[in-house]
């Protein structure tokens, strides 16, 4: 079941919908990773055959792609230096 492309595609769609409901750019990285694995399995080739035969390799590829996507999203849409306002004093202190 894990080697079927539509399972990974459905997981990508569910994670993307979860990202819309919980906007934190965490689930979107996992959705991109699941979508990439679905695309690899759909297209086929020697990599897809190798991944379909090994669940640990499939999960490792998913994890690596998800991490790279999350890091890319963090850099692209994350908080930039100086964007967050910090306070040095409390207005209640006299």
Asked if pLDDT for residue 82 goes beyond 80, the answer is: no
**Residue 85 within a domain:** no
**Residue 86 within a domain:** no
Look up the pTM and report it.
0.78
Give the mean pLDDT of 30-41.
Answer: 94
How far from 75 is each of 11, 23, 31, 56, 64, CA to CA, in Å?
Answer: 24, 16, 17, 28, 17
**Residue 80 within a domain:** no
**Residue 90 within a domain:** no
**Residue 67 within a domain:** yes
Q: How many folded domains does the chain comprise? A: 1
Instruction: Give the ranges where 1-94 is alpha helix by DSSP (H).
Output: 5-21, 27-43, 46-52, 55-77
**Residue 57 within a domain:** yes
Asked if pLDDT for residue 34 goes beyond 80, the answer is: yes
Q: Which domain holds residue 67?
A: 5-75
**Residue 10 within a domain:** yes
């Amino acid at each position: 079941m894990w080697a079927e492309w539509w399972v990974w595609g459905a997981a990508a769609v569910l994670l993307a919908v979860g990202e819309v409901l919980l906007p934190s750019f965490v689930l979107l990285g996992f959705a991109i990773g699941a979508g990439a694995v679905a695309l690899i399995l759909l297209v086929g080739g020697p990599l897809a055959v190798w991944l379909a035969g090994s669940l640990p390799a499939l999960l490792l590829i998913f994890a690596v792609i998800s991490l790279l996507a999350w890091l890319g999203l963090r850099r692209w849409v994350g908080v930039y230096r100086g964007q967050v306002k910090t306070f040095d004093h409390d207005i209640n202190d006299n």
